[in-house]
């Protein structure tokens, strides 16, 4: 899907030129007109050869032309990704007494809405149009679709078997555990706005993982917003050293502080808590407790 169509046959690359009847062939003005017409026709032909309309992943398919192809050829409109929620207050028991007119009506809208970019629009098209996974829903089908959406820039194909996300199932709820990224945010918005085709019997929950383990070292995803160095940070604060979670030295841990365990604390919670009270020695292999290993947060 990611390759651009190549018309290498000469007959397909060139239009059949128009020509003058022999009795007019010596008329320079008419010949110039025919030559101009052939040049224009060849220009249109070249554009169509370089812009294969059915291949929406082509770089030349963008903007309004992408909308025309997505809607006109495939019947899929450019989605609007919205976080808006609407609230309508009306009725006797819907608001605090004496704060609103007795027969009043109040509507409010919160959140944001934005039209999907070309990149996200193409990923949505690929979600619906990719045929290689078949039509039978399964956990593997869902993993492939999600991996292709997250990594297939501009809707292109991707070797998804190398990057399948973790999915757990509880009843009819499928929980997707994946490292936080902007693509994951867009996926979450697409699912919540019913943009992507999914079985209505199931619910899909996106769990953005920002903390992970790299050989026992606690690693934070760049999108978590941690400081990239310890400059100007007070002792005990948390920062990211190339992804590894580190603690600014200079503070003595409180031995009575409650333990902190990997998997039970989020990146935001750890950043707010700080690392000053993490133990300075390994509290026990296999416990999953976080500890300060010479300034680097490790997982026991």
For the cut 90, the answer to whether the pLDDT of residue 286 exceeds it is: no
- Report whether pLDDT(48) > 70: yes
Q: Is the pLDDT of residue 134 over 50?
A: yes
Q: What is the pLDDT of residues 180-197, one digit of tens each?
A: 788 998 999 999 999 999
Indicate whether 58 pLDDT > 80. yes
Higher per-residue confidence, 95 vs 71: 71
Distance CA 180, CA 207 (A): 8
Percentage of the chain lying above the pLDDT 90 cut: 57
Q: What is the pLDDT of residue 98?
A: 67
| Mean pLDDT for all residues in the chain | 87
C-alpha span between 28 and 34 (Å, rounded): 10
- Could you tell me the two tokens for 61? 């398919």
pLDDT at 152 exceeding the cut of 70: yes
Q: For the chain, how are helix, strand and coil distributed in percent, rounded to 5?
A: 30, 20, 50
pLDDT of amino acid 2: 46
% the chain with pLDDT above 70: 86
Indicate the length of the chain as a whole number. 300
Check pLDDT > 60 for residue 213: yes
Measuring CA to CA, which residue among 283, 280, 288 is closest to residue 251? 280
The DSSP output letter for 113 is E
Cβ pair 176, 146 in contact under 8 A: yes
Determine if the pTM surpasses 0.85: no
pLDDT band at residue 278 under the 50/70/90 scheme: very high
Reported as a pLDDT band with limits 50, 70 and 90, residue 179 is: confident
pLDDT band for position 45 (50/70/90)? confident
Q: What angle do CA 148, 140, 166 make, to 5 degrees?
A: 75
d(CA 200, CA 192): 12
> Token pair of 7, please?
């018309």
Task: Please name the residues in contact with 34: beta carbons below 8 A apart, sequence gap of 6 or more.
Answer: 18, 19, 20
Which comes out higher in pLDDT, residue 192 or 2? Answer: 192
Give the pLDDT band of residue 91 (cuts 50, 70, 90): low
């Amino acid at each position: 899907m990611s390759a651009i169509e190549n018309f290498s046959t000469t007959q397909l690359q060139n239009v059949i030129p128009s020509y003058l009847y022999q009795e007019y062939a010596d008329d320079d003005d008419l010949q110039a007109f025919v030559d101009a017409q052939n040049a224009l026709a060849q220009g249109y032909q070249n554009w169509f050869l370089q812009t294969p309309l059915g291949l929406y992943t082509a770089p030349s398919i963008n903007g309004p032309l992408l909308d025309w192809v997505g809607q006109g050829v495939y019947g899929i409109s450019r989605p609007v990704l919205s976080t808006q929620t609407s609230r309508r207050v009306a009725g006797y028991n819907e608001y605090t007494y004496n704060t609103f007119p007795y027969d009043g009506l109040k509507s409010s809208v919160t959140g944001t809405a934005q039209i999907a970019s070309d990149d996200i629009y193409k990923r949505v098209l690929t979600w619906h149009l990719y045929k290689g996974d078949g039509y039978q829903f399964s956990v593997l089908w869902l993993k492939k679709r999600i991996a292709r959406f997250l990594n297939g820039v501009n809707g292109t194909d991707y070797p998804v078997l190398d990057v399948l996300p973790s999915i757990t199932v509880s009843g009819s709820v499928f929980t997707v555990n994946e490292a936080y990224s902007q693509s994951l945010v867009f996926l979450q918005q697409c699912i919540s706005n019913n943009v992507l085709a999914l079985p209505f019997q199931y619910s899909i929950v996106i769990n953005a993982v920002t903390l992970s383990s790299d050989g026992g070292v606690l690693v934070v995803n760049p999108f978590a917003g941690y400081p990239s160095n310890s400059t100007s940070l007070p002792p005990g604060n948390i920062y990211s050293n190339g992804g590894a979670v580190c603690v600014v030295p200079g503070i003595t841990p409180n031995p009575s502080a409650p333990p902190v365990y990997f998997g039970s604390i989020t990146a935001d919670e750890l950043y707010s808590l700080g690392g000053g009270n993490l133990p300075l020695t390994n509290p026990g292999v296999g416990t999953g407790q976080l500890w300060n290993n010479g300034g680097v947060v490790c997982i026991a």
